[in-house]
Amino acid sequence: MDDKRSTFDSEPTGATAIRGVALDLDGLLYDTEPLYWQVGQQLLMRRGHHFTDQLQRQMMGRPGVQAMQVLIDALHLPDSPTALLEESESLYAGILETGLQPMPGLQHLQQRLLARRLPFGVATSSRRRFADLILQRDGLADRLSFLITGDDVNRGKPDPEIYLMAAAQLGILTHQMLVLEDSENGCAAALAAGAVTVAIPGQHSSDHDFTGVHLVATSLRDPRLYELLGFLPHA
Of the three residues 71, 99, 127, the one that is the final residue of a domain is 99
How many domains does the chain divide into? 2
Residue 180 lies in a domain: yes
pLDDT of 14 reads 42
How far apart, in whole angstroms, are the C-alpha atoms of residue 125 and residue 117? 26
8 A C-beta contact, residue 199 and residue 217: yes
Q: Which of 3, 26, 31, 207 is catalytic?
A: 26
pLDDT of 232 reads 54
How far apart, in whole angstroms, are the C-alpha atoms of residue 233 and residue 162? 28
Of the three residues 50, 82, 99, the one that is the final residue of a domain is 99
Q: Which of 2, 3, 9, 24 is catalytic?
A: 24
8 A C-beta contact, residue 145 and residue 3: no
3 annotated active-site: no
Using alpha carbons, select from 158, 101, 150 the residue that is nearest to residue 128: 150
How far apart, in whole angstroms, are the C-alpha atoms of residue 71 and residue 77? 7
Please tell me whether residues 127 and 188 are part of one structural domain.
yes
How far apart, in whole angstroms, are the C-alpha atoms of residue 56 and residue 58? 5
- The secondary structure element, H or E, covering residue 189 is helix 184-193
pLDDT of 61 reads 77
Please tell me whether residues 138 and 117 are part of one structural domain.
yes
pLDDT of 21 reads 98
pLDDT of 143 reads 96
Helix, strand, or coil here: 148? Answer: strand
Helix, strand, or coil here: 199? Answer: strand
DSSP 8-state symbol, 177: E
- Give the pLDDT of the chain (235 residues) as one tens digit per residue: 333 332 233 334 444 589 999 999 999 999 988 888 899 999 999 999 999 989 998 998 788 899 999 999 999 999 999 999 999 999 988 888 776 889 999 999 999 999 999 999 999 999 999 999 899 888 899 999 999 999 999 999 999 999 999 999 999 999 999 999 999 999 999 999 999 999 999 888 999 999 999 999 999 999 999 999 887 545 4
How far apart, in whole angstroms, are the C-alpha atoms of residue 35 and residue 58? 16
Please tell me whether residues 106 and 15 are part of one structural domain.
yes
Write out the residue range of the structural domain in which residue 9 sits: 2-31+101-229
Of the three residues 44, 78, 99, the one that is the final residue of a domain is 99
24 annotated active-site: yes
Helices (H), the chain: 2-5, 33-45, 53-59, 64-75, 81-99, 106-115, 128-135, 161-170, 184-193, 223-229
Please tell me whether residues 142 and 176 are part of one structural domain.
yes
